[in-house]
């Protein structure tokens, strides 16, 4: 009999899921003191919390029988993940439970924005009757631009199509095949920004997506565009949005999230074109029920040694295997991240090939780490366990292969990626005393340490090409730490791999790409 301890209020539906299980004893004890929690958790096989209970390292240490900790929601900030991982305890959350709720809230904001419903309501209850003051626009035949076509973005697209909107979407993992199946037009971010009548963002907040919609993006938009953000505060620059509304470029904005929450007396609230809600995307009875059911089911799967999908930390790996794989973990993540940053288009397939001594081991944990490195370039909160699930959800095929030959290396990891716009490949190994090394990029042999700021330059092998690149970087105050050159034929195509001291700006990358001898330039941050 498994004992499941619930220490925060949980939807009855989730509790019933556990109570229906013949092999589970459910214990509900909320508002425990820290001392009481330590006593109760000592007898628990699993612990389910929301945001109130602080699952500290001390609590985890006291839970000598714990196999799993479940968070009925998305965030796990109140759980000491490293401490749980060190004890071999799985931590699971419920990232799918609020999908419909958030999509519906976004659509409610979309209609309200188009028809000035909040403004009209406020005016009417104040005794006014200003029909001409709140003339809106129809959704029919308008272009809805969706930035991020994951779970929520996809649900929003289907609802918009029911209102006869034309949906154009940008997502780094969106393939033509999936776009066609969904009835949306696959577009670049530039196209979405330039063509859409309404733009809504549904991406995680990462260093790549912070202020993704900024002053430059607003300058490219249609006059009278309307903006929505029910995803994460910070994806849209609030200052740039304020300026764009003031200038008349943006006709209105609907916001459920903010860079700082609560936002207080925000300048955007002084603009009548802005409607706002206090982060209500997941605030429905159904969403609360769903997260409770989802996490309860995950806990049952773990306790029964059945497959699960929403773990946010490492699964247990035999100590002997873990010891053998540990030296390769950093290399694996760097290879995944490096490879995806050299691709263009929507990722369709990842093939990982292990050679030499690695071919004799269970390398599934390394493959998960490679996927994490690749997918976390576009999504936040990706870990070794969730990465395969996220890849499958986005239609990315993952293949693991093993071969005995290792091309002169004791061990070699080869990562190939295929997108709807081409293919790329990178190989890496460990060198005694030197650590991780990238030894091949496509068909070019190199010796590159995979860390820091890198610049991959594809060029013609002609006199002066390298000098031109160095001259431009020098003019911009960019110091080159190391440089590798790879070529197959004299005077043919070649690559340069540069370590530089800081991130490259888009303007600088464009200057390099404009050089006659340069075919392409990619900035890679590891």
User: Residue 372, class by beta-carbon neighbours within 10 Å (0-12 exposed, 13-18 middle, 19+ buried)?
Assistant: buried
The overall longest dimension of the chain from CA atoms, in Å, is 83
CA-based nearest residue to 384, from 290, 297, 314, 305: 314
Separation CA 237–CA 219 (nearest Å): 13
Both tokens of 276, joined, read 């706002």
Q: How far apart are the C-alpha atoms of 332 and 413, rounded to whole Å?
A: 8
- Token pair of 412, please? 């070699």
Which positions are catalytic?
A: 232, 261, 279
Q: What's phi and psi for 59, nearest 5 deg?
A: -65, -45
Residues paired with 482 in a beta bridge: 499
Check if the beta carbon of residue 415 is closer than 8 Å to that of residue 339. Answer: yes
225-229 sheet: strands from edge to edge: 185-186, 166-170, 143-147, 198-201, 225-229, 250-255, 274-276
- Match 């006014």 to its residue by tokens: 128
Q: How many alpha carbons lie under 13 Å from residue 434 in its C-beta half-sphere?
A: 13
Phi, psi of 448 (to 5 degrees): -125, 130
How many C-alpha atoms does 339 have within 13 Å on its Cβ side? 35
Distance (Å, whole) CA 327 – CA 376: 21
Q: How many CA within 13 A on the CB side of residue 333?
A: 16
Token code pair at residue 383: 């870990």
Residue 190 Cα to chain centre, angstroms: 20
C-beta of residue 447 within 8 angstroms of C-beta of residue 484? yes
For helices 506-513 and 465-475, angle between their N-to-C axes, nearest 10 degrees = 150
Task: Spell out the residues 6+ positions from residue 510 whose beta carbon is closer than 8 angstroms to its own.
Answer: none
Distance (Å, whole) CA 69 – CA 61? 13
How many Å separate Cα 139 from the centre of its chain?
29
Q: Tokens at residue 71, please?
A: 């968070």
Q: Are 419 and 343 contacting, i.e. CB atoms less than 8 angstroms apart? A: yes
CA nearest to 247, candidates 279, 273, 286, 229: 273
Beta carbons within 10 angstroms of residue 462's beta carbon: 13
Rounded to whole angstroms, the Cα distance separating 70 from 514 reads 52
E strands, 296-443, where? Answer: 347-356, 397-403, 411-419, 422-431, 435-441
């Amino acid at each position: 009999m498994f004992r499941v301890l619930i220490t925060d209020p949980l939807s009855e539906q989730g509790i019933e899921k556990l109570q229906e299980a013949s092999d589970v004893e459910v214990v509900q004890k909320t508002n425990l003191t820290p001392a009481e929690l330590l006593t109760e958790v000592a007898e628990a096989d699993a612990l389910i919390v929301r945001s109130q209970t602080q699952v500290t390292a001390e609590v985890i240490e006291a839970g000598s029988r714990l196999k799993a900790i479940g968070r009925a929601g998305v965030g796990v900030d109140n759980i000491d993940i490293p401490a749980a991982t060190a004890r071999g305890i799985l931590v699971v959350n419920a990232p799918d439970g609020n999908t419909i709720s958030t999509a519906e809230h976004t659509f409610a904001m979309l209609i309200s924005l188009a028809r000035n419903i909040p403004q009209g309501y406020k005016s009417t209850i104040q005794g006014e009757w200003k029909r001409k003051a709140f003339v809106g626009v129809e959704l029919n035949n308008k272009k809805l631009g969706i930035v991020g076509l994951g779970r929520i973005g996809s649900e929003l697209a289907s609802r918009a199509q029911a209102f006869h909107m034309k949906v154009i979407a940008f997502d780094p993992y969106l393939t033509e095949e999936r776009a066609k199946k969904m009835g949306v037009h696959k577009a670049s971010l530039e196209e979405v920004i330039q063509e859409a009548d309404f733009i809504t963002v549904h991406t995680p907040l990462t260093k790549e997506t912070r202020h993704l919609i900024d002053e430059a993006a607003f300058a490219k938009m249609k006059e009278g565009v309307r903006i929505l953000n029910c995803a994460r505060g910070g994806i849209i620059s609030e200052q740039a949005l304020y300026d764009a509304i003031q200038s008349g470029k943006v006709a209105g904005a609907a916001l459920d999230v903010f860079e700082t929450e609560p936002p207080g007396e925000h300048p955007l609230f002084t603009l009548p074109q802005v409607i706002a809600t206090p982060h209500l995307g997941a605030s429905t009875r159904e969403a609360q029920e769903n997260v409770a059911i989802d996490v309860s089911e995950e806990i049952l799967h773990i306790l029964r040694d059945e497959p699960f999908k929403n773990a946010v930390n490492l699964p247990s790996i035999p100590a002997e295997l873990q010891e053998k794989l540990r030296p390769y973990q950093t290399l694996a993540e760097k290879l995944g991240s490096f490879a995806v940053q050299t691709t263009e288009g929507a990722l369709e397939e990842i093939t990982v090939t292990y050679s030499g001594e690695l071919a004799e081991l269970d390398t599934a944990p390394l493959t998960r780490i490679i996927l994490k490195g690749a997918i976390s370039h576009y999504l936040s909160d990706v870990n070794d366990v969730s990465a395969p699930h996220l890849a499958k959800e986005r239609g990315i095929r993952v293949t693991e292969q093993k071969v005995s030959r290792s091309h002169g290396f004791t061990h070699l990891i080869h990562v190939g990626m295929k997108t709807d716009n081409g293919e790329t490949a990178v190989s890496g190994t460990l060198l005694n005393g030197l650590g991780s090394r990238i030894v091949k990029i496509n068909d070019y042999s190199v010796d590159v340490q995979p860390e820091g700021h890198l610049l991959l330059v594809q060029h013609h092998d002609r006199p002066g090409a390298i000098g031109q690149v160095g001259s431009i970087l020098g003019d911009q105050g960019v110091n080159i730490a190391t440089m590798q050159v790879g070529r197959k034929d004299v005077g043919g195509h070649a690559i340069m791999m540069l370590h530089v001291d800081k991130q490259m700006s888009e303007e600088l990358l464009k200057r390099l790409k404009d050089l006659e001898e340069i075919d392409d330039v990619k900035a890679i941050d590891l």
